[in-house]
Amino acid sequence: MYKFFALLILFFIVSPAEADTIKYGYDSLLNATSFTFESRVSAGNRTIVYHGNSQERGEKVLSEAAGSILILPEFYPDLDRQCKYTELHIYQIDHSMLNNREIMSFLPWHSWNNNNIAAVYDSITSPRGTAAIFITARDYGTKETNLVSHEVAHYWQDTMCVKLNEGRAYDFESFYRARYY
Percent of the chain with pLDDT over 70: 87
Domain with 129 in it: 25-180
How many domains, the chain? 1
What pLDDT is recorded for position 80? 78
Q: Is residue 29 part of a domain?
A: yes
- What CATH number is attached to the domain comprising 167? 3.40.30
Q: Is residue 18 part of a domain?
A: no
Q: Is residue 40 part of a domain?
A: yes
Say if residue 71's pLDDT is above 70.
yes
Please calculate the CA angle 36-37-40 and round it to the nearest 5 degrees. 150
Q: Is residue 163 part of a domain?
A: yes
Q: Is residue 7 part of a domain?
A: no
Question: pLDDT tens across 34-48, in order?
Answer: 999 999 999 989 999
Q: Is residue 15 part of a domain?
A: no
**pTM for this predicted structure:** 0.86
**φ and ψ at residue 122, rounded to 5 degrees:** -135, 120
Q: Is residue 8 part of a domain?
A: no
Q: Is residue 79 part of a domain?
A: yes
What torsion, rounded to 10 degrees, do the Cα atoms 104, 70, 181, 163 define? 50
